[in-house]
Amino acid sequence: MEYRSLGRTGVQVSCACLGTMTFGWDPDDWGSEEPESVQIAHGAIDLGINFFDTADVYARGVTETIVGKALKGKREGIVLATKCHGKMSDEDPNAWGNTRRHIIEACDASLKRLQTDYIDLYQIHRPQPSVPIDETLRAMDDLVRSGKIRYAGCSTYAGWQAAEAHYVAKMLGVTGFVSEQPPYSLLERRVERELLPFCRTYDWAVIPWSPLAGGQLSGKYLDSKPKGSRYAKSDPRNMISAKSTAVVKKLKKIADSAGLSLTQMSLAWVAGQPGITAPIIGAKSLEQLNESAEACEIKLDKKTLERIDRAVEPESHTINYYTANFGPNERPNV
């Protein structure tokens, strides 16, 4: 397994990061139950994957609990990342967001579920412009100083929000973010315009989520929506459309010409982009895990890369994953 530096930290992580969002969900609803989830986690470790990503909001704590069980006796050597921000209670209006109150409480709860004394990378899952960034950063700094987390990161921030966080941390003299986790795939390339150049300039780690665009770039939705797949029962945001299917078909032809599966080419493309640390890969079987992990180490040739750029233009998007609260967007009266 190839290892890369986690941004400017110097910590070495595998070029494939195991995503655990499916852990603890009904297999008929695109998930995997506890025994299968533990098996996949152990299989990832056997492959040399030392980077695991989860979040408290995944199954409202169930996923973190499974990850904690899977890593029992195996925690040493694992770079463990989790996230906070998501709504953890329907009754408590403060059980979500980027406030000091919630961040501290959420971290303590995650530590218990994960059965660990510290979290390697603690990430803010989404931006919240209504909460001043200095409050969020000071809370993360307190967690670092207390030894509960090693590093802080963020996920799905706009370029300006990442830049604000970077410079406010410097101004305050507190721990800043060392990583960003954006949606990035051949069907969602908008982060190439501002966010990725920022991360490369300031040496932030980049950990792309959904590099297969919810499974579309595996090709499994070309003919139907197979049972147990992510969009089999529901696709409220119309991610699978005639437009996306047409693009996926073009990309499959390119993959076929390169002697690769569509999954292999799609993951290799993300993993090989400048400044990318490790795509987050998910799996429901050891076979899927092996294919995805190996794909992250494949180097695409120049001809294939050029054909890909002609099929999906840089900075373009076919699906709408890069969506969060990026701040006020009021149009002036004209």
* DSSP state at residue 185: B
Structure tokens at 164: 């604000």
184 is catalytic: no
Which DSSP symbol is given to 22? T
3-state secondary structure of 53: strand
Separation of alpha carbons 203 and 92, rounded Å: 38
Q: Indicate the length of the chain as a whole number.
A: 334
- What are the helix (H) ranges across the chain? 34-46, 62-70, 100-114, 133-146, 159-172, 195-201, 242-257, 262-271, 286-295, 302-311
Distance CA 1, CA 120 (A): 20
Q: In which order are the strands placed within the sheet that holds 177-181?
A: 205-206, 177-181, 149-155, 119-124, 79-84, 51-53, 17-19, 280-281
> Residue 192, by phi and psi: left (phi above 0), alpha (psi -120 to 50) or beta?
alpha
Token pair for residue 273? 């982009």
SS3 of 295, please? helix
Catalytic residue among 3, 58, 118, 122: 58
Distance CA 219, CA 126 (A): 29
Catalytic amino acids? 58
